[in-house]
Structure 1
């Protein structure tokens, strides 16, 4: 690295005014640095070096918002599909045309969607070491994963009568491959946005709400019109085209470093997840993780079972799909509003307000839901208040990185891993609590065997609210001590 470049970086760190054409401090420090391919300077074509002043602007500009748009498309196609799995489950459980109708239990069919969400949450952290060691392969691997994930759905379309095969192809493989596909968004977002990262995250993550709104309607129409097999084939084709085009638009802000020839032992060590000691080093970290876990357990249970609950009330498949779409549509607004609030106020306070509202909605609206208007009110309130909760991972991981001088990207992926654990565990607990024997029982509270599920969801949210208050107090204490 030349002395001129070193001086540029030094001056950038000292002069915040230069940030319009610089890289964020979170990408320069916290243990990630140049070895992640996220340093401020990199070798290009083996001979030239790029100055910090040559980089695209941060927190705005055509290239930054192009990245946001491409990431939004990724989010819409990848996470939107997983959040729309309730439409498939409702088809398998209640439509006689399904090859699994009467042959597979609701727990088995719901496990397919759970495995998709699990793979999407777990894989980014597990592949972090690989992309840290070989950053020049990030985009190529993502493009390969796009193709393979579409092929896995295509394979599942020919095995619709075998629940075990669907668990493998539509569940495990698709979840893993789509998790790999989404990795560039997670790794490159901190390069493009710093002070406006909450807003950018909200826009990107609102794609899951949009996808979760459109895909249930699309999948429901296709299932009714062409059946399960052709529905998967059409979805696979649409997903392949849209995500491939988005991948072409997606670029990192910082130059990619070509990986050196690492010794074998060094490669093995670098491939393992590291730099996550911040996850258990302070009480604030533990409280933050507990908030994410409790909220996600409750949220993912509702996301997976809201269509089933609607059908249990006697409404047809079209209405059940519409309720799921309304739920995800309100979540889209939640992403945008919460992302903006994060940039304006203390995020633990917003966490507490979000989870408290969701808890009250579960206990009071869903618990007494026997009619469509009350059910619609629940999904709108619950989705609006809790839909943007993933956006909180950005400021939380930033705080943990600052507290422990750790890599921001790794901590963010670790928080996603925590959320994935809850996304798997929550619906499994919900499946155990759901009493199918009570189907047809119009109880005053928690009808049709869903009473314990509703109590589980409401309790999880109220615990998360209490923890958010604790996080707010701990963060105030930490910030006061650091000033």
Structure 2
């Protein structure tokens, strides 16, 4: 049973000029005291947070959107392998083909900051934007089925899908802090596990479709399927608080509120540094693990390893998210970084069979893919005392991880080109991947040191 204090919120009636436009538990109570109940103001009890049908409906809808948007994005390795080995794109450079997937993910991560600021000023447009995002996502992915050159794929499957996916997913980031507080880590872990579920199932489905109906109809079928499932999920994206209404003469909040102090916080920036290092480690693996596996085995095994890599994040997200509600999340970040580094150095570095890659995909996928479940609690602590800015802090994390989504694969691609299929000796770094494996492991190791910096900064905030 939820024993949190009952929150009240106005749904109509006059509103004093000094009533906060940002809805939170505190602002609701302040508004209640500011207006005389005799003035005809209607008062409504808010739906329960951390439980209840509406809260868990939101969580389920967020899971579906996470699966469709991010699960597809992290399955791009299947398309990358297909594009580089089938017409009309087989003659294109591997860097340009890789850019299609990395640009899409980078935009989805990066646009969250801009969207967070926009919807802080225009919260009444959030509902319209998510449906526009779905339409843009469908149109871009469907149109990409007619592409004949890589630049067209970059514009449609990269930029168009990225922008549409970000708009489609934004309600999850903005509304999660409204629905969950004490169980925020668990709820975030469940929602973020959608990436792992999609990342496990989608490579097999996409590989089957590519073999059965070809590239063009695969993209068309996927555009239709994504629109159907995401459209249903959007009906569960409802705000817990009444959406404020603005008249023509009413002043809206500023794009950047003057009281946003968390951007000066050492905790915020140490967490961002750690997130960037973790992203530099994670994204090269998600893009190149299938290609590396195919060098050792066959396409079916490569698909299975990529699926296992993505699906391991399901377990990692839920477990690490639940643990972050009980234990200090910096310690989880340290363990994640160390475990990921050891996996990259030894399991991937010395891999000579698919068995080693199965173990690597499981360990690295769970630890590195699951650490983002700590974001919700970290965002809450960064904006300590101002929970209405938690979504903005979360968006900051996503923006900088988007940078790593572009930089990491570019560096890995350059290192792979420099290796040119050579081994570093003693069984390490087969097929020219030695420098990539060292880069991945080193970034993961630095992220564990970053977790220590987060722990020290956190002590200063909580003291």
User: Greater shift after overlay, 408-417 or 357-366?
Assistant: 408-417
Q: How many residues align?
A: 443
Contact map agreement 1:157 1:228 (CA 8 A) in 2: yes
Map of 1:51 onto structure 2: 43
Map of 2:452 onto structure 1: 469
Map of 1:285 onto structure 2: 268
C-alpha separation in 2, matches of 1:439 and 1:409: 44
Map of 2:21 onto structure 1: 35
User: Greater shift after overlay, 121-130 or 351-360?
Assistant: 121-130
Contact map agreement 1:23 1:58 (CA 8 A) in 2: no
Relative to structure 1, the CA distance from residue 142 to residue 478 in structure 2 (aligned partners, 3 Å threshold; closer, same or farther) is closer
1:301 matched to 2:284? The reply is yes
Q: What are the Cα deviations for residues 382-402 of structure 1, in whole angstroms up to 9, with x where unaligned?
A: 111121121111111111101
C-alpha separation in 2, matches of 1:34 and 1:219: 48
User: Greater shift after overlay, 357-366 or 315-324?
Assistant: 315-324
Map of 2:176 onto structure 1: 189
Contact map agreement 1:436 1:448 (CA 8 A) in 2: no
Contact map agreement 1:135 1:259 (CA 8 A) in 2: no
C-alpha separation in 2, matches of 1:346 and 1:338: 11
Listed as ranges, the matches of 1:57-68 within 5 Å are 57-68=48-59
Could you tell me which runs of 5 or more consecutive residues in structure 2 were left unpaired when the two chains were aligned: 10-18, 33-38
C-alpha separation in 2, matches of 1:366 and 1:37: 48
C-alpha separation in 2, matches of 1:303 and 1:73: 21
Residue 273 (structure 1) shift: 8.4
Q: What are the Cα deviations for residues 75-108 of structure 1, in whole angstroms up to 9, with x where unaligned?
A: 0000000000010001112x3x33111x111111
Relative to structure 1, the CA distance from residue 377 to residue 23 in structure 2 (aligned partners, 3 Å threshold; closer, same or farther) is farther
C-alpha separation in 2, matches of 1:384 and 1:228: 30
Map of 2:77 onto structure 1: 86
Map of 2:61 onto structure 1: 70
Q: What are the Cα deviations for residues 355-402 of structure 1, in whole angstroms up to 9, with x where unaligned?
A: 100000000110001101011110011111121121111111111101
Corresponding residue to 2:101 among 94, 113, 130: 113
1:339 matched to 2:321? The reply is yes
Residue 276 (structure 1) shift: 5.3
C-alpha separation in 2, matches of 1:72 and 1:238: 16
- TM-score, normalization: structure 1? 0.86
- TM-score, normalization: structure 2? 0.90
Residue 471 (structure 1) shift: 1.9
Residue 21 (structure 1) shift: 3.7
Corresponding residue to 1:354 among 336, 340, 354: 336
Residue 40 (structure 1) shift: 3.3
C-alpha separation in 1, matches of 2:375 and 2:225: 29
Map of 1:27 onto structure 2: none
Map of 2:221 onto structure 1: 234
Corresponding residue to 2:123 among 135, 158, 171: 135
Map of 1:220 onto structure 2: 207
Q: What are the Cα deviations for residues 280-312 of structure 1, in whole angstroms up to 9, with x where unaligned?
A: x23333221111110011111111111111122
Contact map agreement 1:275 1:406 (CA 8 A) in 2: no
1:327 matched to 2:318? The reply is no
Contact map agreement 1:134 1:258 (CA 8 A) in 2: no
Corresponding residue to 2:380 among 384, 398, 402: 398
Residue 440 (structure 1) shift: 6.9
Contact map agreement 2:423 2:429 (CA 8 A) in 1: no
C-alpha separation in 2, matches of 1:129 and 1:275: 14
Contact map agreement 1:118 1:423 (CA 8 A) in 2: yes
C-alpha separation in 2, matches of 1:18 and 1:49: 26
Residue 403 (structure 1) shift: 7.3
C-alpha separation in 2, matches of 1:441 and 1:48: 78
Map of 1:409 onto structure 2: 391
SS state of the match for residue 181, structure 2? coil
C-alpha separation in 1, matches of 2:348 and 2:433: 10
C-alpha separation in 2, matches of 1:276 and 1:414: 12
Relative to structure 1, the CA distance from residue 310 to residue 122 in structure 2 (aligned partners, 3 Å threshold; closer, same or farther) is same
- Taking only aligned residues, the RMSD between alpha carbons, in angstroms, comes to 2.5
Contact map agreement 2:173 2:391 (CA 8 A) in 1: yes
Contact map agreement 1:134 1:259 (CA 8 A) in 2: no
Could you tell me which runs of 5 or more consecutive residues in structure 1 were left unpaired when the two chains were aligned: 1-16, 25-32
Contact map agreement 2:419 2:435 (CA 8 A) in 1: no
SS state of the match for residue 51, structure 1? strand
SS state of the match for residue 58, structure 1? coil
